[in-house]
Amino acid sequence: MTVQDDAKLQKIIDLDKKYYMNTFGNRTPVCFEKGEGVYLYDTKGKKYCDLLAGIAVNCLGHNHHALVEAIKSQAEKLIHCSSLYYIEKQAELAQKLVSLSCCDKVFFSNSGAEANEGAIKLARLYFQKRGLKEKYEIITLEKSFHGRTLATLAATGQEKYHKSYKPLPEKFVSVPANDIDALKGKINENTCAVMMEPIQGEGGINIVDADYAKKVRLLCDQYDLLLIFDEVQCGIGRTGKMFGYEHFGIEPDIFTLAKALGGGVPIGAFLAKEFVAKAMEPGDHGSTFGGNPLACAAALAVLNTIEKDGLLKNVEAMGAYMTEKLNEIAAKTDLIKEVRGKGLMIGIEFTSDIAAAVKDALLEKGFLVGTVGSRVIRLTPPLIIKKEDTDPFFAEFEQALTGGMKQ
167-185 burial, b if ≥16 CB within 10 A, otherwise e?
eeeeebbbbebbebeebee
Ranges of beta strands (E only) in 114-190 are 137-141, 172-175
Number of H helices, E strands in the chain: 13, 17
Q: Are 231 and 195 in contact (CB under 8 A)?
A: no
Helix (H, G, I), strand (E, B) or coil at 36: strand
Spatial neighbors of 220 by CB under 8 A, at least 6 apart, are 193, 194, 226, 227, 253
Q: How many residues does the chain have?
A: 407
| Residue 179 known to be catalytic | no
What is the Cα 346 distance to its own chain's centre?
A: 13
Q: Are 267 and 281 in contact (CB under 8 A)?
A: no
d(CA 155, CA 169): 9
Peptide bond into 167 cis (omega under 30): yes
Helix (H, G, I), strand (E, B) or coil at 169: coil
Question: 108, 145, 243, 270: which is the annotated catalytic residue?
Answer: 145
371: phi then psi, degrees, rounded to nearest 5: -125, 150
Question: 135, 259, 273, 359: which is the annotated catalytic residue?
Answer: 259
Q: Are 354 and 405 in contact (CB under 8 A)?
A: yes
Q: Tell me, what amino acid is at 108?
A: F
Question: 6, 50, 230, 389: which is the annotated catalytic residue?
Answer: 230
What is the Cα 283 distance to its own chain's centre?
A: 29
d(CA 217, CA 196): 11
d(CA 317, CA 334): 27
| Residue 145 known to be catalytic | yes
DSSP per-residue codes, 283-318: TS---SSTT-HHHHHHHHHHHHHHHHTTHHHHHHHH
Q: Are 257 and 217 in contact (CB under 8 A)?
A: no
| Residue 259 known to be catalytic | yes
Q: Which amino acids are annotated catalytic?
A: 145, 230, 259
